[in-house]
Chains A and B, each alone.
Chain A
Amino acid sequence: MTTEIGPVAARRADAVTPAYKPKGYWHTVAERLSDDKATIVFLTIIILAILSAVFAPIIAPHDPYATSMIARLKPIGTESYLLGTDELGRDMLSRLLYGGRMSLAMGILPVLFAVGIGGLLGVLAGFAGGVTNTLIMRTMDVFYAFPSVLLAVAISGTMGGGAASGLLALTLVFIPSLCRIAETATTQIRSLDFVEAARATGASSLSIISRHIIGNVLPPVFIYASSLVSVSILLAAGLSFLGLGVEPPTPDWGQMLSNLRQAIYIQPLVCALPGIAIFIVSLSFNLVSDGLRHAMDVKS
């Protein structure tokens, strides 16, 4: 056997390369997902919701801020107001489309930030062990001790409300649980043979973390995070319902729900619309998360 790649091996490389298309882990996951019809349906709903939020300025039939004193609280199906109007005569469809931007952003962004921060802290705590672990994990426990709604309201309330403080509050709420999941997974993985095997092939701690630990911690963290998106949407809606979310008149589903609740006996269906939107989107995220969990468990 030779250490150098000889001419034979070089030829092999050429012969192999076209056939060597690694059917990676994510490829397998995608394949398994595509077999799961229900997940595909709900994934489509999510994609539609995201697209409609992104392209709201193009799709929306009206200006979401344009009020009309004569067209207040019109029912669903009114001429030119497909989904009726709210208490200030603004077009509900347009407001729902624009509101989706804020609600989806508040659903996804805090979770993404929390995955980054909490995940890294957890991996660090799990890998370092000892004092570092104690320091990080006990700090997380302090945050864990508060009910998440209370913590979100407290942080966002102290910071005076608004979208930015809502985002920060939700991120902080999600960091402890993600950190804990990453830490548990890391502690488990750290003691497995393949980590020692990687060390035995000369991998440094950094490359063990970046390659072997994170590669194995990511699936469970990702699955858990995807289930947090719906929680985040609900919490964000709750914050704006309490007046701690975005400032009016920027549309947001939670805030719309809050403003329309006085009109619940006049136009119950219109009032329910933002709630329905929240329900459908968060349900979809939840079910897709379940499907993803199933698809990512490739070993089964």
Chain B
Amino acid sequence: MSSTAIREPGTSLSTDELLNVSDLSVEFSTRRESVQAVNGVSFSLQKGEVLCIIGESGSGKSVTMRSLMRLLPESRTHIGGNITLDGQDVLAMRNRQLTAMRGSKVSMIFQEPMTALDPVYSIGDQIAEGVMRHLGKTRKEATARALELLELVRVPSPERRLRAYPHELSGGLRQRAMIAVALSCAPKLLLADEPTTALDATVQIQVLILLKKLQEEMGMGIIFVTHDLGVAAQIADKVAVMYAGRLVEYGLARDILLNPRHPYTIGMLNSTVRGQDRSVDIEAIPGNPPDLRNLPPGCAFAPRCGFALEQCSAAQPEPAARPDAGYARCIRLDETAKVAERHPIKA
């Protein structure tokens, strides 16, 4: 839907820009050690655009999302860089501005619908809570709005579900209820942290289609965190691939998924089932993700990478332009391009 070109972040602030993140770094520190969970991450999001952040567990996807809303525990976290949301500097916000922003301008859907809803309040109460807080509605108006929202997220017999408690609903309905909570104040940006991972395969698709549809109707931007490339292909306009706290490849979804250039993205796509012949073995990426407390000085993927040269481990590779609008943090893009040509990715 969007034909926005990928720009290097921070270049120009177009009026359609919803979110600009530049050089974001997140460090968790305890008395004994510190962990660099996110390192030099930059991306931007236009109004109504869907960005998918893809990566393994522990690659910093969720931390990036939480830092956008400043949900991480303040005392043990240090966030560096810049986050500009709708023209406002998020990192400079005071508590009151933060609570005003959370839920109204940005809201979040969580992975586990079982635990992300409060068990002692009814679904209607929980949706109404944010409506009353941010839009200053009375309980009656907020309840009417909650009903409207349950209809919007296609919950069957919404009048009855309004009074239901989370444990009385199935996983898919709970996730829909959570989406209703997140959408209650018509946010401009929706952060979705693996919202379909905990659901059954059939329900996953339904929720995904619903999200896409709502996104088009409401024109909001979505940042969608997932490790499922199929999900990314379904919903994303742009894709950012994360590895060990850095964006290793960034570009339009079509470009990245059909023509991956970073060895990690290539490896990830090769290890995905996409209707290959049964006799074809699925290639796994060898090795394990690195320890974030102890990152190598160079490219964090180098120890697992088939293309790695000596200088890969020497210094962090700078983003290199892809043939299209995106970039990949790799010094051997020419080599990877040859491989990608020999084994074209089937759509």
Contact = CB atoms under 8 A, between A and B. Distances in A.
Interface of A: 1, 3, 5, 9-10, 12-13, 16-17, 19-25, 192-194, 196-204, 207, 211-212, 215-216, 219, 298-299
Given A1-B186, A22-B122, A215-B121, A201 B102 contact: yes
Contacts of B125: 22
16 contacts: A3-B135, A9-B145, A13-B140, A13-B144, A16-B159, A20-B143, A20-B159, A25-B165, A193-B116, A196-B116, A200-B102, A203-B99, A203-B133, A215-B120, A298-B165, A299-B167
A202 B121 contact: no
Nearest to A5: B141
Interface residues of B, number: 52
Contacts of B148: 9, 12
B101 interface: yes
A212 B118 contact: yes
Given A196-B71, A202-B102, A216-B118, A5 B144 contact: yes
Given A13-B143, A202-B101, A203-B99, A196 B134 contact: no
B51 interface: no
Contact of B99 (A3, A197, A202, A216): A202
Interface in B169-185: 178, 181-185
A198 B118 contact: yes
A197 B116 contact: yes
Contact of A200 (B108, B121, B141): B108
Contacts of B102: 199-202
Nearest to A14: B144
B100 interface: yes
Interface in B185-227: 185-186, 217-218
Interface string B207-251: 000000000011000000000000000000000000000000000
B107 interface: yes
A193 B186 contact: no
Contact of B71 (A16, A23, A24, A199): A199
Contact of A25 (B103, B107, B120, B218): B120
Contacts of A199: 71, 102
A61 to B, nearest CB: 48
Contacts of B218: 1
A202 B116 contact: no
A201 B140 contact: no
B124 interface: yes
Given A1-B218, A9-B148, A201-B181, A22 B124 contact: yes
A197 B108 contact: yes
A216 B117 CA distance: 12
Contacts of B122: 22, 24
Contacts of A24: 122
A219 B121 CA distance: 13
Contact of A202 (B104, B162, B167): B104
Nearest to A218: B120
B144 A12 contact: yes
A162 to B, nearest CB: 41
Nearest to B114: A193
A194 B167 contact: no
Contacts of A10: 144
Contacts of B134: 202
Interface string B142-164: 01110110001000000100110
B103 A5 contact: no
Contacts of A204: 95, 99
Most buried by A among B103, B104, B186, B218: B103
Given A25-B165, A202-B103, 10 more contacts: A12-B148, A19-B159, A194-B116, A197-B108, A197-B110, A198-B118, A203-B129, A203-B133, A204-B99, A215-B121
A25 B164 CA distance: 10
A22 B146 CA distance: 13
B74 to A, nearest CB: 11
Q: Which 9 A-B pairs have the closest CB atoms?
A: A13-B144, A201-B103, A202-B103, A202-B102, A193-B116, A193-B115, A200-B108, A201-B130, A194-B118
